Amino acid sequence: MNKVIKYVIYDILRNKFVMSYTLLLLLVSLAFFGFEADANKGLLSLLNIILMVVPLVSIIFTTIQFYNSYEFLELLSAQPIGRKTIFLSQYLGIGISLCLAFVIGVGLPTILLEGTTKGLTLILCGLLLTLVFVSLALLASVCTKDKAKGIGIALAIWFYFSIVYDGFVLTALLSFSDYPLEKASLFFTTLNPSDLARIIILMKLDISALLGMTGAIFQQFFSSILGIFIAIVLLILWIIVPAWRALAIFNKKDL
């Protein structure tokens, strides 16, 4: 499995898109920290990139990479290699490559210019979000052999979690504002990995005004440390569950 992972990583790191993505993140990170005298404002600006751009690139690149590697996957499946090994090699290869790009593009400037627990929390959330959307992308990809349909599903997933979901939750909370919805709000928060990452970072920055309705309720029920820990555990579950489901489908899939 190690040889397959190394090949996948080597193939991805030579990809011009990944190199451009890394360079873009690096330039944007340096610009945000350079333009803002307050490091917290620089972290908040980077937060928008992490919540929007990182998931989009992760889910689209993973989907395209999976379909472009389809012949390679068929070749591996003809060898005495288990389906689980093939899938995990592909997942780890893509995940490690994108995480490495994120660490170079965002992690290094953040550590050098704001190497506090706040900066490290932002880096951790970016890495977790990257892996979450890699898992979701592979789940979308193994469900159909049609590349255009797979990319469409991936885009719909990103659009739903990044834009549409918060609108639905806000509408529901306002429509039923006469009822006690605190526990329901907590449940809604767990269903969106982007919201979890946003809450973790904003709780660490201690900016309650930007937490939003669900974030404020999350902070109300849990202390900062406990809330951050619970949110991180939930993000890890968002990585494991879609990947496990994608693996189950891939094991039964007719390549």
Q: How confident is the model at residue 221 (pLDDT cuts 50, 70, 90)?
A: low
Give the number of other Cβ atoms within 10 Å of residue 174's Cβ: 10
Closest CA to 117 of 201, 219, 223: 201
Predicted confidence at residue 136, as pLDDT, reads 95
CA angle 44, 224, 183 (to 5 degrees): 100
E strand spans, the chain: none
Q: What confidence score (pLDDT) does residue 57 get? A: 94
Question: Which tokens is 141 given?
Answer: 């990809």
Number of structural domains in the chain? 1
Run of H or E residues at 139: helix 117-142
Q: Are 88 and 116 in contact (CB under 8 A)?
A: no
Q: How far are the Cα atoms of 6, 103, 167, 193 from residue 216, in angstroms, in the given order?
A: 43, 29, 16, 16
Which residue from 172, 8, 147 is spatially nearest to 64, judged by alpha carbons?
A: 147
Confidence of residue 151 (pLDDT cuts 50, 70, 90): very high
The radius of gyration of the chain from alpha carbons, rounded to an integer in Å, stands at 19
List CB contacts of 53: < 8 A, sequence separation 6 or more. Answer: 25
Tens digit of each residue's pLDDT (9 = 90 or more) over 10-61: 777 777 888 899 999 999 888 888 776 676 777 888 888 888 899 999 999 9
Single pTM value for the model = 0.89
Under 8 Å between Cβ of 35 and 44:
no
pLDDT exceeds cutoff 70 at 208: no
Q: Give the SS3 label for residue 109.
A: helix
- Yes or no: say if 188 and 169 are a contact pair by the CB < 8 Å rule: yes
Percentage of the chain exceeding pLDDT 70: 86
Q: Identify whether the C-beta of residue 66 lies closer than 8 Å to the C-beta of residue 90.
A: yes
- Which residue's structure tokens are 């451009």? 20
Tell me the pLDDT tens digit for each residue of 80-127: 778 888 888 889 989 999 999 999 999 998 888 877 788 888 899 999
Range of the domain at 190: 2-252
Cα(161)–Cα(159) distance, integer angstroms: 6
